[in-house]
Each structure stands twice: as C-alpha cells, then as structure tokens.
Chain A
C-alpha cells in the first residue's frame, strides 16, 4: 500500500491531481482511492486530498493515513499546516517553494531531521510559465514521478494525455511541458 497526502488550498487542483493520479494508476491494473475533505471550504482555504494505491482492493475508508509521500502544492502551507502529521521514518516530502531546499528547511523545524527526504520545486512558477496560471497540481505529479519512480516520465505523460483528453490541445501540451519541467527540476 502506498499512501499519499496532498496539502493544498481549495482551488489549486489537489482533488483533480489526486483523481488524475488515480486514473493513471488504475489503468495499470492497480487499485486506487482518491479522496478529499472539503465541502464548506472556500477557495483559498487549506485542505487535504489523499491517494491510496495497492495491488489488492482497498477497503480501508479511514481518512487518517500514515503517508509515504506528502505533497505540498502551496508554498505557505509548508509553514502553517502540520505537514509531518502521522508520518513514517521513510516518508518523502515534495514541497513547492521558490526557496532553495536548505533555506526552506532552515525555516521549518519539523523538517530538520528529514533533510534527505525533503525535495523541492517551484510548481507555482512552472505552472505560470507553462500553463499560464498558478495551477501547481500537474507539475507536482511530475515531481512525484521522479521521486517515487512510480512510472517512467514518457509512460506517465502518455497516460496524462488521456486524463486531460477533454481539454483543448494547447492546454494538454502546456501540462505536458509542466510535468516534464517539474520532473527535471525537482531537487
């Protein structure tokens, strides 16, 4: 079982990202869950989305998880959310920030004994430069592919094209570029 927790603001696409990842993974025959807690949350409110991935049907419906990956797609939430909550000794963190990794870690005490498990990228800047607006969800997926090795980049891009098929070609292309850049730029 692989468990992933997204830290996001409502409107940044964490739910879409989690569902997109779920669709890609399900196509390989694995079982998935993609869920989120929102409802009363307004655009901009802090929220969590979640993924579970396993080889056998997933029947655990508890919201709480011990994440293998924590994906922070809003830079501010790295400071204000409890991003290390219920983590494990091997939990990997991927955080969007404009800061170099060392500077970010210096400002977040909870990460200071986890330096080798913290990875950073500027998913906000990447999405602005490729998609044309702040939409850090797809770049985060590119970074996750690099850090987790879940799928090779080419295979993941092909799968994501199908997930995004309802969008105009221009938007699909921009997302492919965002994913590729994030894959290459995450440190």
Chain B
C-alpha cells in the first residue's frame, strides 16, 4: 500500500512536477524510461515516489527510448497501468514503437514535453515531436499550462483505458515554457484523484495464465486493413468518451475542458489558431486588442489534437462572423504548409463561411512568442478582413530574423 503524499490545496508546481504527481496519483504500475531534457523530472519524480514508498510500482531503467516504449508495451500487454515521458530525439527514437502501442491497443500514457528536433541540436520547446507523432494512432491531448498538464494527465488514463477506447494517449506540454514554469496549481488529494482515475481494468492480459493470448501478431493484406480501420474508428469514436470524461472532471473540480477551446470568439472577426502555451499568450493579445483598439479578436485552440476535432472546428467557423484566421504552426513544415493550417483550412472549406486563412511558422527551437507579435498577427488578419482578400503571402514566418520570408500569393479576390 502506497503512502499518502502531503499535498496542499494550492501548490506552486511546474508542468513537469504536475505531470509526475498525476502519474503517482494514478498509481501507475510500470514506468520504463530513458530520461531526456526537458521531460526528465517527470520520470525522475516517479522514480523517487517509488523509492520512497509513495507509489506501488516499478521503475524500469532501459538503454534507449526505443527500449523504454518497448518495455511499456510489454508491461501494458502483461496487464499493468503504464506510463512514461519523453521529448524530441527520444520521441523520435520511440516512433516505431508508438505505432506498435496503438496497433496493439495498449492504453499507455505518454507525457510529452515538446522540444525541437535536431539538427541543429536544440533543447528548447517547439512542436516538432508532437507533429512527428500525429499519425501514430494515439489520442493527443494538449496542455497550455501546468494546471492543465496535471488535469489532462489524470484524464488521459480514464480516456485511454475506457473499454470503448483502449488506445494510448499522449499529453503534450511545452518544453520549458510549461515544463519548467512554476505556477499556481490546484491538485486533487490522493484519494480523490485515484477515485477519478479508477482501478485499472486489464484486457487480454498476458499474466492471465488461464487464458493464453497473442499480442502484436502479423497480418498481411488479408487482415491488416481491417485492423487499421478499426483502430481509426476507435480514435474517431473516442470523441464522445473524451467529452464524457471531461464532463466528469468538471463535475469533480469545476475545471472545464473541451475538444476545441475558444476564447472571445462569439463575435470575433479575426482569430489565431494555435497549440500549447502560445494559446494563452494569444488570448492576452486578443483581450488587449479588443480593449485598446476595438478589434474583435479571438483564439481557437484544439485541446485534442488527435482525434482532430474536424467536427468542432467546422461548428466554430460555420455561421460565425470570422473573416480571417492565422493558423500558427510551431514546427518546420519541411516543404509544405503547416499541419495546423492544412487541417483548419480543410475543416473551413466544408463550411458556408470560408474565412481567409494564412499560415505562420513560429517559435522554432524556443524562439520567444510575445503578446506584441500576437497582436501584430491579429491586426494583419484584420487588414485581410477589411480588404476582403489576403494581403500578404499565405505562408509567413513570425519572429524570424533576417530578410522576410513568405510563400504563395492568394488567388482569391
């Protein structure tokens, strides 16, 4: 029996510590990890809780992130509640096994502290790792601050382990900006948190020796497609479960989460769409623009990046007064438009209201994103809205030094 951890009603925690406390409170059975900056303190925290008797679990030291996720898959198939953490290069090394975990329907929780991918080597936050894993078949939740990193990690166990879902879940938070920034957090007490998460219900666990099962079998053209289609359907169908669990969480804590968060959007003419901590900075920019310059600005933020909230993005845009949207991608798109731009544009295209949408690549390798810059971008959207067409290149770079870089002119008039 694990010891109770002394927790105050208000704590000052950074995102890493908040996530590690959530892993402890969920009484994770196995964490297999190969620590990497900036997510190290999450698994370091879990290790110390094990060593000091605050969690009844196993910390497995491995030789790489590939091995870490492999051990997680094994422990999950054996029938345990399993979690780990990683970032950047570690995430990249896990990539192969991420697909194994989702295909084998193991509800592992991976707390990802988002960090740039080399080269050049960089330890700061951007969304390269998040974007790299977006088609890996995991549910992806995105926290914008430390409180949310805690809340969503607790929710992640409930969502992934739900018998109608049975999928692994990533909980993303921004490297340093969230992971290393201490803010006020209202945690649950241990009993309340564990009661919310609930006992782990194993499915086809390998440690049930009375019933032999196979995990990770081979299927060729005869069955592979059906498996992958079922997996995709499970992801799509998880939308309602996610909403139910967010509703339960709100009933318990008063803190409300939606698959798409919107701020100041009801009458907004222009908006920023973003992920991570930038969402909050953009909110402040929208508030100030409304107060100081009378610009009706708002913010749209996918809380659940996968399954992508195509439905809710359409609902937000359709019939709204939105005229121009800036889609912000914090990952180098490698010769394309940014992923968020593409997905938002696709959703908007199927609505009656097709706002002007431009793409900003920003924040790579931890480049600072200021309120002033968010305001500048929103004001640029206002200029598009007033002109009735896009007045700049469709893809631009925000916060980049040197000559201005942009691609593609609009063909709409």
On A, residues with C-beta under 8 Å from B are: 18-19, 22-23, 26-27, 31-40, 58-64
The distance in angstroms between the C-alpha atoms of A60 and B280, with both chains bound, is: 6
Asked if B96 lies at the interface with its beta carbon under 8 angstroms from chain A, I say no
Given contacts A60-B280, A62-B281, is CB(A31)–CB(B181) below 8 Å?
Answer: no
Q: List 30 A-B pairs, Cβ < 8 Å.
A: A18-B182, A19-B12, A22-B182, A26-B10, A32-B12, A32-B182, A33-B182, A33-B183, A34-B12, A34-B182, A34-B183, A35-B177, A35-B181, A35-B182, A36-B180, A37-B176, A39-B124, A40-B123, A59-B280, A59-B281, A59-B283, A61-B145, A61-B174, A61-B177, A61-B178, A61-B277, A61-B278, A61-B281, A64-B368, A64-B370
Given contacts A37-B176, A40-B123, A61-B177, is CB(A32)–CB(B183) below 8 Å?
Answer: yes
Residues of A within 8 A of B370 (CB): 62, 64
Distance from B413 Cβ to chain A, minimum over Cβ atoms (Å): 36
Residues of B within 8 A of A37 (CB): 176
Residues of B within 8 A of A58 (CB): 183
CB of B176 within 8 A of CB of A39, answer yes
Write the B356-370 contact mask toward A (1 if CB under 8 angstroms, else 0). Answer: 000000000000111
CB of A63 within 8 A of CB of B281, answer no
CB of B12 within 8 A of CB of A60, answer no
Residues of A within 8 A of B10 (CB): 26-27
Residues of B within 8 A of A27 (CB): 10
The distance in angstroms between the C-alpha atoms of A23 and B185, with both chains bound, is: 11
CB of A59 within 8 A of CB of B284, answer yes
The distance in angstroms between the C-alpha atoms of A32 and B10, with both chains bound, is: 12
Query: Interface residue tally of chain B, by bracket?
Result: 20 to 34
CB of B184 within 8 A of CB of A26, answer yes
Residues of A within 8 A of B180 (CB): 35-36, 38
Residues of B within 8 A of A22 (CB): 12, 182-183
CB of A61 within 8 A of CB of B280, answer yes
Distance from A85 Cβ to chain B, minimum over Cβ atoms (Å): 13
The distance in angstroms between the C-alpha atoms of A60 and B370, with both chains bound, is: 8
CB of A62 within 8 A of CB of B123, answer no
Write the B34-62 contact mask toward A (1 if CB under 8 angstroms, else 0). Answer: 00011000000000000000000000000
Would you list which residues of chain B between 1 and 49 have a CB under 8 Å from chain A?
10, 12, 14, 37-38
Residues of A within 8 A of B284 (CB): 59-60
Residues of A within 8 A of B281 (CB): 59-62
Residues of A within 8 A of B371 (CB): 60, 62
- Nearest-CB residue, chain A, relative to B280: A59
CB of B182 within 8 A of CB of A19, answer yes
Distance from B256 Cβ to chain A, minimum over Cβ atoms (Å): 15
Given contacts A39-B176, A59-B280, A61-B277, is CB(A34)–CB(B181) below 8 Å?
Answer: yes
CB of A32 within 8 A of CB of B184, answer yes
Distance from B287 Cβ to chain A, minimum over Cβ atoms (Å): 9
CB of A31 within 8 A of CB of B184, answer yes
Most buried by A among B12, B176, B178, B280: B12
The distance in angstroms between the C-alpha atoms of A36 and B12, with both chains bound, is: 15
Distance from B340 Cβ to chain A, minimum over Cβ atoms (Å): 18
The distance in angstroms between the C-alpha atoms of A27 and B145, with both chains bound, is: 19
- Nearest-CB residue, chain A, relative to B374: A62
CB of A31 within 8 A of CB of B183, answer yes
The distance in angstroms between the C-alpha atoms of A27 and B12, with both chains bound, is: 9
Distance from A14 Cβ to chain B, minimum over Cβ atoms (Å): 13
Residues of B within 8 A of A32 (CB): 12, 182-184
- Nearest-CB residue, chain A, relative to B373: A62
Q: A32-B12, A61-B145 are in contact. List 13 more A-B contacts (CB 8 A).
A: A23-B182, A34-B183, A35-B180, A39-B124, A58-B183, A59-B281, A59-B283, A60-B281, A60-B284, A61-B174, A61-B369, A62-B281, A64-B368
Distance from A176 Cβ to chain B, minimum over Cβ atoms (Å): 21
Distance from A40 Cβ to chain B, minimum over Cβ atoms (Å): 6
The distance in angstroms between the C-alpha atoms of A64 and B174, with both chains bound, is: 17
Distance from B149 Cβ to chain A, minimum over Cβ atoms (Å): 13
- Nearest-CB residue, chain A, relative to B174: A61
The distance in angstroms between the C-alpha atoms of A122 and B314, with both chains bound, is: 61
The distance in angstroms between the C-alpha atoms of A95 and B221, with both chains bound, is: 71
Most buried by A among B14, B124, B283: B14
- Nearest-CB residue, chain B, relative to A62: B370
Write the B156-187 contact mask toward A (1 if CB under 8 angstroms, else 0). Answer: 00000000000000000010111011111000
Residues of B within 8 A of A59 (CB): 145, 280-281, 283-284
The distance in angstroms between the C-alpha atoms of A35 and B146, with both chains bound, is: 12
Would you list which residues of chain B between 257 and 288 have a CB under 8 Å from chain A?
277-278, 280-281, 283-284
Distance from A36 Cβ to chain B, minimum over Cβ atoms (Å): 6
- Nearest-CB residue, chain A, relative to B263: A59
The distance in angstroms between the C-alpha atoms of A63 and B284, with both chains bound, is: 14
CB of A23 within 8 A of CB of B12, answer yes
Distance from A114 Cβ to chain B, minimum over Cβ atoms (Å): 25
Distance from B253 Cβ to chain A, minimum over Cβ atoms (Å): 16
- Nearest-CB residue, chain A, relative to B368: A63
- Nearest-CB residue, chain A, relative to B178: A61
Most buried by B among A26, A33, A62: A62
The distance in angstroms between the C-alpha atoms of A32 and B12, with both chains bound, is: 8
Residues of B within 8 A of A64 (CB): 368, 370
Residues of B within 8 A of A60 (CB): 280-281, 284, 371
